[in-house]
Amino acid sequence: MFAKSTWIKLPRNVLVGHGVLDDVGTAVAELSLGGTPLLVTSPTPDDLAGDRLRAQFDGAETVTVDTASFAAVGEIVEAAEAAGATFLVALGGGKPIDLAKMAADELGVGFVSVPTAASHDGIVSGRSSIPEGDTRHSVAADPPLAVIADTEIMANAPWALTTAGCADIISNYTAVKDWRLARRLKNVEYSEYAAALSEMTAEMLVDNADSIKRGLEESSWVVSKALVSSGVAMSIAGSSRPASGAEHLFSHQLDRIAESPALHGHQVGVGSIMTEFLHSGAQGQWRSIRNALEAIDAPTTAADLGIDDETVIEALTTAHTIRDRYTILGDGVNEEAAVEVATFTGVI
């Protein structure tokens, strides 16, 4: 008997472009959600665009969050219940968007993502990443009902956030390699459609590297579209597998152990150089990954990340313990091998 089934949850309305912030109300009305939303934002995005958003939602209350935490999710849930909000609209970087995503899940309502920075594909995906103590929980939730990415606002965000978003996409190359490996060795569930979309997204971003330049609004256009595409790949897969492999484990581990972690996308980019080396060896594709990162101005070394060599080695040798996700790290890379890969690739 044929017993397979799949349920793909995708955003229904995606708007990317100059000035689309003023179309949030229209895009939301088109979803027929009814009622009034709670707006969730953080201080800088609120200053930059809060009033323009509020002008589109009569009577909507705003919650402004300072830091990402489970307590902040609880506060959003309480505020939404008190206000009788029927859905959430998140305005900002990954912090308010992830918090609203989790709160919406807890409330059983939809949410709309209005990113002000193209810093990673969480602005589109159905995954929330919330720090707690010295760890970080990656939690499954529903993806946004709509994504409205205003390239004018994103282009004025700190340049490092944009290059971090690019590096998060470039890391899809190694994430997909890890996924295929896990399918071969551990028979994990795999989708060729999701894998192909994820790889193609990375390919297109690298092919368009010339348009990714500080001060150029087109950079935000190229990156936003790639982030949407990567988010869709995760939705098709029903997991973050197409966009998160060993390089993400490495970054998650740095978040835990580094005194001052760098941006998510920057860490996964550097991780990707090393995990590509582990996949394909000295003559493999690791130089292409490094060159692609260099071309878009993203870090390629521990020093660029502002993290010391010892911490990078510790993260690489312990990253496999982060979660039950089989990757090229297998049951662990020993210290000697880690030093060799990091040295050979110029990361340390």
Ligand X SMILES: NC(=O)C1=CN([C@@H]2O[C@H](COP(=O)(O)OP(=O)(O)OC[C@H]3O[C@@H](n4cnc5c(N)ncnc54)[C@H](OP(=O)(O)O)[C@@H]3O)[C@@H](O)[C@H]2O)C=CC1
Ligand Y SMILES: O=C(CO)COP(=O)(O)O
Regarding 168 and contact with Zn ion (CB under 5 A), the answer is yes
The residue type found at 154 is M
Of residues 117-136, which lie at the interface with ligand Y (CB under 6 A)? 120-122, 127, 129
Site for ligand X in 59-88 (CB under 6 A): 68
Using CB under 6 A, pick the residue from 56, 62, 113, 116 that binds ligand X. 116
Task: Output 53 or 348, the one with its CB closest to ligand X.
Answer: 53
For 152: left if phi > 0, alpha if psi spans -120 to 50, otherwise beta; the answer is: alpha
Task: Rule CB under 5 A: say whether 98 interacts with Zn ion.
Answer: no
Residue 98 interacts with ligand Y (CB under 6 A): yes or no: no
Does 105 help bind Zn ion (rule: CB under 5 A)?
no
97 is in an annotated binding site: yes
Task: Give the count of beta carbons closer than 10 Å to the beta carbon of residue 321.
Answer: 12
263's CB contacts (< 8 A; 6+ apart) are 119, 160, 161, 164
- Give Cα separations from 325 to 138, 149, 183, 186, 245 (angstroms): 12, 31, 11, 10, 8
Least distance (Å) between residue 52 CB and Zn ion? 28
Counting contacts by CB under 6 A, is residue 267 touching ligand Y?
Answer: no
- Kindly state the helix (H) or strand (E) to which residue 37 belongs, with its residue range: strand 37-41
Q: Using the rule CB under 6 A, is 129 a contact of ligand X?
A: yes
Cβ distance 176 to 199 under 8 Å? yes
Question: Binding site annotation covers 252?
Answer: yes
Take residue 173 and report the two structure tokens written for it.
Answer: 């190359």
For residue 45, state whether it binds ligand X (rule: CB under 6 A).
yes
Read off the DSSP letter of residue 143: P
Q: Which residues bind ligand Y (CB under 6 A)?
A: 120-122, 127, 129, 138, 168, 240, 243-244, 248
Residues at the binding site are: 94-98, 116-119, 121, 125, 168, 248, 252, 264
Residues at the binding site for glycerol are: 121, 168, 248, 264
Residues at the binding site for Zn(2+) are: 168, 248, 264
